[in-house]
A = this chain, B = another copy of it.
Amino acid sequence: MHAIIKGLLQKNGSKIVLLVLDGVGGLPYKGTGGPFTGKTELEAAQTPNMDKLSGASACGLHIPVGPGITPGSGPGHLGLFGYNPLKWEIGRGILEAVGLGLDVKKTDVAIRCNYATLEDNVITDRRAGRPPTGRMRKVTERLQREIPEIDGVRFIFGPGMEHRFAVIMRFPETLTPEAAMVNDSDPQMEGKSPLPLIPKHPKAEKTAAIAGKFINKVEELLKEEHPHNYVLVRGFSTHPRMPSFMEAYGLRALAIASYPMYRGLARLMGMEAPDFEGSFGEEIEYMKDNWNSYDFFFIHFKKTDSFGEDGNFAEKVKKIEEADRALPSILALKPEVLIITGDHSTPAVMKGHSWHPVPVMLHASNVLGGLTEGFSERQCLKGELGIIPSATLMPLALANAGRLKKFGS
């Protein structure tokens, strides 16, 4: 589909805004007697602005990966950005690295690391007793100072929570995915020895050798630091190498997200993603300040997902209402296309991501509209988009923005 889209692209001055209310899709509240009974989070929320807008929008539901498949944040956003998540996989190491705020380039192999406890060459605790985050941040900073590079490969450390951190191995040259074909050293069980790193492709030999030296250096540096005296490595992966937003869609794209992972995901697609931290209102203000410099704006609203994960139905409802109150300030910018949706569903009643199709509305001038009385899962089922793969939203956005020429004559 990207090849076809690319052949049809035409430039104009239109603006596209993708507002992602993370995990916005939900399921009916199961308690009885209260105001939420039988309603989903979107149905329970007072959202006069979104309700009104839905009538002038193309509405529907989208499926990020496939029926019954619960997406992580990576595949969820890949789908929204128009990349089929089954084709473009973001490796575990890459996702961990971007989630910790590291910048990933096409010269990099990223790995997830755990501090662990090693005794007589046996792993006795894979998580080193879950040490405090603050203490481990200092340890990781020390490793960064002591191991800036190995054999011409730069090492970049990203401290994480408790025993977790990420490492980027930055090579002098651009890599292909084969460079990351190295197994995990983590035996996945306590009482076993770490696994030796074995390259599964000739192009991975250098990666395995240098990662092996890295493990040895860490062991040497931490030998007095029991219980966090060892490192386990997992998820060797390279940049997913998908075409950038500019290559795929001809769009100058700005990502505005307060959480590092979403900025990192956006950067993987070649979006500009400044280290922005602020309220949702400040995110919109920032978009306004940069309105003329970009064609596409991805605004990420995290809290709907967080409260869904917590199983806090009432607070998720409040966060949806908060997003709704900010809608007029987005509409005031008069984008040619405004898409409001989530990257996946996170029903509070399930306390986690789910496979359920995600409600979406696409507001633009050339829509049918008039089919919904509000913005919710059940209303969107009546909409003109039907139930579609998430990755079709970008072609629809481009079409509605007047950025696609006719196919054939």
Contact = CB atoms under 8 A, between A and B. Distances in A.
Interface string A346-368: 01011011111100000000111
Most buried by B among A73, A353, A355: A355
A196 interface: no
Given A90-B408, A370-B378, A68 B384 contact: no
Most buried by B among A352, A399, A407: A407
B370 A28 contact: yes
A404 B70 contact: yes
B381 A371 contact: yes
A73 B27 contact: no
Q: Looking at chain A, what size class is its interface with the partner chain?
A: 35 or more
A1 B1 CA distance: 20
Contacts of A65: 4, 407-408
A409 interface: yes
A75 B407 contact: yes
Nearest to A70: B406
A369 interface: yes
A388 B67 contact: yes
Given A366-B350, A368-B377, A395 B75 contact: no
A368 B384 contact: no
Interface string A328-358: 0000000000000000000101101111110
Contacts of A38: 370
A154 to B, nearest CB: 26
A366 B29 CA distance: 10
Q: Is the interface of A mostly helix, strand, loop or mixed?
A: loop
A28 B378 contact: no
A247 B199 CA distance: 29
A395 to B, nearest CB: 3
A371 to B, nearest CB: 6
A404 B388 CA distance: 21
A371 B366 contact: no
Contacts of A69: 4, 8, 395, 399, 404, 407
A158 interface: no
A278 interface: no
A9 to B, nearest CB: 12
Contacts of A378: 368, 370-371, 384
A285 to B, nearest CB: 31
Contact of A381 (B384, B388, B409): B384
Interface in A68-111: 68-75, 85-86, 89-90, 92, 95
B370 A75 contact: no
A131 interface: no
Contact of A4 (B66, B347, B357): B66
A61 to B, nearest CB: 8
A392 interface: yes
Interface of A: 1, 4-5, 8, 27-28, 38, 40, 65-75, 85-86, 89-90, 92, 95, 347, 349-350, 352-357, 366-371, 377-378, 381-382, 384, 386-388, 392, 395-400, 404-409
18 contacts: A4-B69, A5-B68, A27-B367, A65-B408, A67-B388, A68-B392, A70-B404, A70-B405, A70-B406, A71-B406, A72-B406, A72-B409, A74-B409, A75-B407, A89-B408, A347-B366, A354-B366, A386-B387
